[in-house]
Structure 1
Amino acid sequence: MRATVVISLFLLSFSGFSQHAVKQDTVKRESSIQSDAADNKVKFSAITPPLQPIPGAPAAFYTFYWEFGDGEYSKEASPEHVYKKSGDHTVLLWTTNNYDNGKPPPSRPQKVPVKKITFNDANPIQPLLPDGFDLKSNREPVPGEEMVVIVSYQNDTDNLAHGKLYLFFNEKKYKADNFQLSEVRTHHGEKEVQDAPQVASRIKASDPHAMWASRTISLLPDGNRESDEGSLLQLSQALEAARAEYRTVHALEFNDMEARERRHVFYSLRTTPEMLKDTSAIITVKGIYVPDRGADNHKSKTLEMEIVTSHDPNKMSVSDTRLNYRFYKNKNVDFKIRFQNNGEGPAHSIKLEVAVPEAYDPKSLHVTDMYPVCPICPDKESTISCLDTIFRNNQILFHFKNIYLPGSNQKEGVDYDSTKGFVKYTLRFQESIAKRKTQSRTAIIFDKNEPILTNRATTRFKPGLSIGAKAGYMYYPGLNNSKSGFVGVTLSPFKSQHGYLQAELMVGVHTYSDSLYRADTVSADNGVVNLFDVSQRNKFTRVELYVVPVSYRYTINSFIGVGAGAQFSVNLSEKTKEEALHENYFVRQKENFREPRPELNFKSTDEKSSSFTNLRPAVFADLTLGSARIGPTAGVRYAYYFTAPREQWQFYVLWKF
């Protein structure tokens, strides 16, 4: 009995331990919102789960994005917010784990009740937007995760504003959508409206740039308007250009916006899983702000983001992850290097050591944008803030000298976005390159610290399509008087570097002949035979279709190529002409006597036709000499059929385009 009790207690304790272990393993990583309210002044903080650092990466850390439920937001870790109106405000928190193996921990919305307005805003005058319109994001897009795009707009006039906001996303150059719109959060009475395209009724044919979209902030002055119709026409052109670039648009109308007032609209976008294949690609969303719905005065802004697989403030991205090899010589490839100073003090020197693949021409470097903004360094040593560029051994060095980039962990408060910087530049390819993927990577050095390595920005070439024109001669060793010519087309990837698949379709005319001899007995009686000797000649004329559904080819070098595959042939039409000479003989078999009787001789002719007959499979191997990837080549192919005639030799010329 005692043993039974001990065993039972042991089993119960083991069961409890197992349940506890399972419970621990299934705990979901979450962030929780903590608030400390004093009437309308609320101090917020977040309780976050432990980080899961990536081995070998810089120290993992969290970044934060708060929405206070009244149209304001913050990127501080523990912000303090003063509400201007009483009521229940729903606070939202997005926590982003940088250099961490897990997913961003979600958090539950929290209602903050404000019953009494006691405190005034410490900063009653809102800081003006430099351009009156801006787009920001709380983090970079990761396939399968949610991000927020903040659209900020401002009334720069002294009058009430009644206008519209447009947000364009899902670029048409990508087959799949970049984002799915989850939610739009407005706080100033903005209402969603249908985006109704306006028909342009008057376009100047003399203006070659009339339909171009601007990727920079632009404010068209009143002096450029010829009439109200012409003004609205310019806005219509800007909207049409954006619609031509993006698949999806979301439009809002707003009213009664006070002079100098600033507002925010928050768009929750979920990055589609299909964008995983475009990792490190630069994608964009575009905003157009129309302060007055009855006028052309509008501003546009494009927000660039990089598709990433993990959150890392130091990233390298490329504008096109898949290029058309046929047109690479005329292509500018845009690169962007992002970096962030996460130190406890400012950085005065930042070096970006970029490994440049041999396919690119370093001399084609052109810096298009940067932050901190500074001029290119002069040739002589200088003490001014500047960006120096140096070329050495397939490497480009960007060196920010004598700058001030604050650290995100400085004791004095800094704007989190001001701790970030970037360099944008373009490169062109060399004159002749192999059709291989290219990879670039950057080592980022803040002052004298250890370098931080970015991801690899990879560019691949699309397979493309190469159509070839083929013509040649076929020889059948087992057939008499065989003559066969053919023409055809091939389909394969464009200028494949080594191994690739190819399909072929050929049509040929094949003629050959054969002869046979036979004896036809007419009558026989007591050893006396009346017979005809028949000499027959058959002539065959065929229109043949040859199909190579798939073959594997390999270019050994730029001059020699080999291949092997399966081939099928079928007679599209066949005509057979039989010509026979019948010679009559009188034969006495016992006397071995044979007497010709020419007066009984005669000739006969017979023609037959058929179509879609004689399907024959074969295997083949061949060799080509010439421009193996593009241009003219000559080849020889041996095919073995599984039915007679079994052997076929094919001699051909091929020109790939």
Structure 2
Amino acid sequence: MKTPWIITLFFLLSTSLAHAQQDSNLIQVDTFESKIDVQQLPNGVSFKPILRPLVQVPGGRAPYYKYLWDFGDGHFSTQAEPVHQYAKPGEYEVSLYAVNNYDDGPKPKRPTRKIKNTAPPSALASIHANGFEQNFFASNGIFQIFKLSDAKPGEDIALLIGVQTAGKKGKIYLLSNEKAAGLDGFKYAHQTAYYHENMDTLVATNNLQGLWANVKQSTFTKTGSPDYGIKEVSTFQNQQQAISYFKDLYGAYNSLTSYEIEPAQGDQQFSLVNLDVTADMLVDTNAIVTITGVFIPEDGLANVHQVDIPVVKSHDPNKMSIRPARMNYRFQKKRKTMTYKVQFQNDGEGDAKNVRLEMRIPDEIVKNTFKLKALYPQCDSCETNDSRGCYRYYLKDDGTLVFHFKDIALPGTAAKDITDMDSTKGFILFEVETQKKLKNKSFNAYTNIYFDNNPPIKTNTATTRFLRTLSPFVTLGASHTFGTPQENNLRHKFKTGYQIGIGIAPTAPYRKPYWQVELYTSYFKRESESPRREEKGEHSYLVDGKQDYFTYNAIREEEKRDYITIQVPIQLRYNFNALFSMGAGASIRKDFNTKSSGQTTYYFQRDAASGIVDLTYTDPKELSSTNSKIKINPFLDLNVGSVNLGPALGLRFAYDKAQQWNGGIYGIFRF
């Protein structure tokens, strides 16, 4: 039988395979010689950066640098040209961490410079040296993490960890690489040691329960850029509550590092930690990941601070991010909460009075589940009595979600009196829920940002993808052979066979061909017979214990065999919709003959008083096992029912040289 339609289907499925192309991470190198200009002043030391000139993207917004100065004595500043007063004379190594925003060039090299401070000891240096340190602990007054930039793959990210010791010893833990993100994107690179910090990168979580048990209360705060204003206090009634709280918190991350805090080293301590951002992060350059810091002092009043870090391809403050960026499809049994963040920046000279965010949210999101979590600039809803400096949100007829900051005053980066670039930024952080049933495909969102009457700025596309997971399944079914195949002189009749098997395939690919591999065993019986054929000969038999002979003129043979079959079907499948899928492939098969019996019937004639009589004699026949060779059987497979997870009914038609065409029906359940 010719089967061109099976071959055609298999070819079409094969040629439609898509090969994902990974983003190339071509990192530009700055060849400019970055320097730090230093000038000794009566009231301190003045620092000025000499960095590569910024390159404006054609038609883009004005680029600028964001700075973090490390003065070499445990103090830091984010000013462009700071003046710092040292507490003691001596030699210090100053470093500058700079991030180029809206820039079309490479990241600037990090300049360092050793300086000699000749000014006499100053008591004024014990006071906060700048507004950055004065306002550092805005979230909880005790413990906080500052990020200089978002996470760009191939670069590093600088985190400044600050703590007010209040005379208490303790430990600080840094948790990174969330398990939910599915990759280890951050690698520990370096930490300053101005307060004799000694980073332990091999912390064993199992040894921490005794420390957790002593915690009486934990204060949780969260920031992004700028502060979210989120603060939650958890009081533990017993040790088990505290252990469970921190076990769940630590268990959400793959990486854990720590260092000890000694109050004798200073009431206020800042430590700069560098993390390398690996190229693996390129797959999620619209995701929001978190890094969590935990400060557990000896009095058991802990502080947990979490900082949101968007993963970016470029340092563009106008951005839309999503969390989680990747989900496991196998656990989509109910609505999933998604967190979106839209951040923006006014790059004009004057204040932006109205900022309108028009968000194109995908159909997978139930838009009326919108729940605002945090925003900046801080203002009330326009539904209140005081409608000046407020916000409102609504849905347009085309499904666009609009969030409007009305009558605010967001300063611009080009204003002459701007000293803090973060004050020119705003954001909204909100949650929405997905539909209960989702297709295993990515879904996208983006935002058009309108500053007053200016043309819109379109953000990146925030994409949620499903993780590539495998779904195991079990099958149970029956098969039957069509017709009576013939082999030599034997005609075979196959009894209905029964099968049980297991398999594995990608979880519910959406409109993409995918491979499926199975392993199953089946049991069936075969009855064979040869038609009566003319053949002459003699055959012995016993009569009253004596051997006699008769002459036969025809014979017929019969066989019965039981088989157990091991098969490994491999097929290429395609889901046409949620209820119907098709596949084509081949099965590697071997049949094992477990039981066999046979007989030969002889036909002969004898004279009788009334004439010649036809007689038969049946003799058992010994048969040897006939295990098959390894065979390759092509087949076509159909599934009706849930092609994602759950039950379905399958039909399979296969061709075997011995059985020829056979078909089966089976039940399948995907986990």
Same fold (TM over 0.5): yes
Could you tell me which residue of structure 2 aligns to residue 21 of structure 1? none
Equivalents in 2 of 1:210, 1:124: separation in Å? 32
Are 1:283 and 2:283 matched, yes or no? no
The secondary structure found in structure 2 opposite 1:330 is coil
Deviates more, 1:629-638 or 1:345-354: 629-638
* Normalised TM-score (structure 2): 0.80
Deviates more, 1:140-149 or 1:77-86: 77-86
The secondary structure found in structure 1 opposite 2:281 is helix
% same residue: 27
Equivalents in 1 of 2:642, 2:399: separation in Å? 30
Deviation for aligned residue 1:365: 0.6
Could you tell me which residue of structure 2 aligns to residue 621 of structure 1? 636
Deviates more, 1:440-449 or 1:42-51: 42-51
Are 1:640 and 2:655 matched, yes or no? yes
Could you tell me which residue of structure 2 aligns to residue 135 of structure 1? 145
Against the structure 1 CA distance between its residues 214 and 82, is the aligned structure 2 distance closer, same or farther, given a 3 Å change threshold? closer
Count of residue correspondences: 601
Are 1:401 and 2:401 matched, yes or no? no
Deviation for aligned residue 1:175: 3.8
2:508 corresponds to which of 486, 495, 500: 495
Equivalents in 1 of 2:255, 2:178: separation in Å? 8
Report matched runs for 1:431-510 at 5 Å: 431-464=436-469, 465=471, 467-479=473-485, 480-488=492-500, 489-498=502-511, 499-510=513-524
Equivalents in 2 of 1:486, 1:219: separation in Å? 60
Could you tell me which residue of structure 1 aligns to residue 373 of structure 2? 368
8 Å Cα contact 1:235/1:298 also seen in 2: no
Could you tell me which residue of structure 2 aligns to residue 69 of structure 1? 72
The secondary structure found in structure 1 opposite 2:504 is strand
Could you tell me which residue of structure 2 aligns to residue 553 of structure 1? 573
Against the structure 1 CA distance between its residues 225 and 467, is the aligned structure 2 distance closer, same or farther, given a 3 Å change threshold? closer
8 Å Cα contact 1:483/1:512 also seen in 2: yes
Deviations 1:207-261 (A, max 9, x none): xx9999945576979xx798xxx6x8876665444432223333222334599x4
Equivalents in 2 of 1:59, 1:161: separation in Å? 46
Letter in structure 2 aligned against 1:262:
Q
Could you tell me which residue of structure 1 aligns to residue 557 of structure 2? 536
Could you tell me which residue of structure 2 aligns to residue 604 of structure 1? 620
Equivalents in 2 of 1:628, 1:254: separation in Å? 55
Could you tell me which residue of structure 2 aligns to residue 347 of structure 1? 352
Equivalents in 2 of 1:267, 1:26: separation in Å? 23
The secondary structure found in structure 2 opposite 1:173 is helix
Deviations 1:440-488 (A, max 9, x none): 1011222222222111110012344252534132224343432232333
Against the structure 1 CA distance between its residues 627 and 297, is the aligned structure 2 distance closer, same or farther, given a 3 Å change threshold? closer
Equivalents in 2 of 1:462, 1:169: separation in Å? 20
Provide structure 2 residue ranges, at least 5 long, that are not aligned to the other structure: 1-27, 223-229, 486-491, 540-549
8 Å Cα contact 1:575/1:610 also seen in 2: no
Equivalents in 1 of 2:45, 2:536: separation in Å? 117
Against the structure 1 CA distance between its residues 622 and 180, is the aligned structure 2 distance closer, same or farther, given a 3 Å change threshold? closer
Report matched runs for 1:289-438 at 5 Å: 289-290=295-296, 292-293=297-298, 295-328=299-332, 329-378=334-383, 382-392=386-396, 393-438=398-443
Equivalents in 1 of 2:529, 2:402: separation in Å? 81
Equivalents in 2 of 1:376, 1:77: separation in Å? 36
8 Å Cα contact 2:440/2:508 also seen in 1: yes
Equivalents in 2 of 1:123, 1:427: separation in Å? 47
Equivalents in 2 of 1:53, 1:145: separation in Å? 20
Equivalents in 1 of 2:551, 2:217: separation in Å? 95
Deviates more, 1:404-413 or 1:328-337: 404-413
1:49 corresponds to which of 44, 49, 52: 52
Letter in structure 2 aligned against 1:638:
F
The secondary structure found in structure 1 opposite 2:423 is helix
8 Å Cα contact 2:369/2:433 also seen in 1: yes
Letter in structure 2 aligned against 1:378:
E
Deviation for aligned residue 1:354: 0.8
8 Å Cα contact 2:220/2:303 also seen in 1: no
Letter in structure 2 aligned against 1:609:
S
Deviates more, 1:342-351 or 1:190-199: 190-199
Deviations 1:623-649 (A, max 9, x none): 4445555555445433234x3343333
1:183 corresponds to which of 172, 184, 190: 190
Are 1:243 and 2:250 matched, yes or no? yes
The secondary structure found in structure 2 opposite 1:405 is coil
8 Å Cα contact 2:62/2:347 also seen in 1: no
8 Å Cα contact 2:213/2:243 also seen in 1: no
Equivalents in 2 of 1:455, 1:270: separation in Å? 23
Equivalents in 1 of 2:280, 2:123: separation in Å? 48
Report 1 or 2 for greater relative contact order, CA contacts < 8 Å, sequence distance ≥ 6: 2
Deviation for aligned residue 1:90: 0.9
Are 1:168 and 2:175 matched, yes or no? yes
Are 1:268 and 2:280 matched, yes or no? no
Deviation for aligned residue 1:202: 11
Provide structure 1 residue ranges, at least 5 long, that are not aligned to the other structure: 1-24, 524-528, 588-593
Deviates more, 1:234-243 or 1:429-438: 234-243
8 Å Cα contact 1:58/1:452 also seen in 2: no
8 Å Cα contact 1:640/1:647 also seen in 2: yes
Equivalents in 1 of 2:211, 2:467: separation in Å? 40
Could you say what the CA RMSD is over the residues aligned between the two structures, in angstroms?
3.6
* Normalised TM-score (structure 1): 0.81
Deviations 1:373-422 (A, max 9, x none): 22232077x53322211111221111122323232332224323222222
Could you tell me which residue of structure 2 aligns to residue 199 of structure 1? 209
The secondary structure found in structure 1 opposite 2:283 is helix
Deviations 1:44-63 (A, max 9, x none): 22222244444554333332
Deviation for aligned residue 1:520: 5.8
